[in-house]
A = this chain, B = another copy of it.
């Protein structure tokens, strides 16, 4: 079951390895006759170049690394999808590693990829990431590098992001347009930038519409779970502050709210309108169907790879590459949970 090599082909054809190599790569300085012969024999032997040797010789592996917090997450698997597809179209393969939101693991994964000498790295930072020595090492080694979603602004690299603040503003504006007067916000954890940005968007939307900001209408998640949503729904009903609209950090939590409102016979959107974030699968199959903000995960993956590809090409030519930032548009998806009948 030995694999055919250039040497073998050369030997049986009575020519040199050089010529065989050239024939297979369509170099101009090999006669039509020998080229034909080489190709014929190569096919017969099912010759395929030894990628290990090619890698060593060309100093590239046509392989990139991807580090994400976790695959089992609708958003990240969407991105993974986009990256894999686009990479494959361009002859690249993708190695995926998970950081599980742990800084320590993240460092290890970066080291692994550097050892593997991948041609480039795409990554979304873990929540813990504040120390970025390991990221700087990537840059300093001159490895093409792209960040997406959770990024560090301080690192000079290309980035693919959405505008969380703007998206949040639009979501809240939508609630206002639907007639909501007293709008609460279920915000995410304290540190992550997107949690902060969405909160700021909420504030700005209120401000823009002349609605006074009331910090008692902001609820902070301890965990991003369904149960957390149920708890806040309980609390909100108990407090009875007259809230008629809620902007929630993410769909999963929003669905928890809906579940409890449903149980208590609260009309959504009649009494309280709810809008989530991220367009999880669940938001379209719940009753009432949940309005939300769509993040173009697949497109982010595609964009991230293309940015990386551009840098890889630049670097290969020895040119210097100026990092770019791509901001992808989000869109409000209006479904039943916010559609009050104020039409016309």
Residues of A within 8 A of B (CB): 1, 48-53, 55-56, 59, 61, 63, 70-74, 77-78, 80-81, 84-85, 88, 93-98, 112, 114-117, 140-142, 226, 252, 255-256, 259, 262-263, 281-282, 284-287
Contacts and interface: CB of A to CB of B under 8 A. Distances in A.
| 10 shortest interchain CB distances as A-B pairs | A52-B56, A52-B55, A72-B77, A282-B282, A71-B77, A255-B285, A226-B285, A93-B95, A77-B77, A71-B80
A66 to B, nearest CB: 9
B84 A78 contact: no
Contact of A56 (B48, B53, B81, B97): B53
A95 B97 contact: no
- Pick from A93, A140, A286 the residue with the most CB of B within 10 Å: A93
A65 to B, nearest CB: 8
A131 to B, nearest CB: 18
A273 B334 CA distance: 31
A96 B97 contact: no
B97 A93 contact: yes
A256 B81 CA distance: 26
A142 B59 contact: no
Contacts of A85: 98
B98 A95 contact: no
A81 B77 contact: no
A74 B73 CA distance: 8
Given A93-B97, A95-B63, A51 B263 contact: no
A142 B2 CA distance: 10
A99 B263 CA distance: 42
Contacts of A52: 52, 55-56, 59, 61, 117
21 contacts: A48-B115, A63-B95, A71-B80, A72-B77, A72-B78, A72-B80, A73-B77, A80-B96, A84-B98, A85-B98, A88-B97, A93-B95, A93-B112, A94-B95, A226-B284, A255-B285, A256-B285, A259-B287, A281-B281, A282-B282, A282-B285
A50 B96 contact: no
Contacts of A259: 285, 287
Contacts of A140: 1
Given A70-B81, A286-B286, 16 more contacts: A1-B140, A1-B141, A51-B115, A52-B52, A53-B56, A55-B56, A56-B56, A63-B95, A63-B116, A72-B74, A72-B78, A81-B98, A84-B96, A84-B97, A226-B285, A256-B285
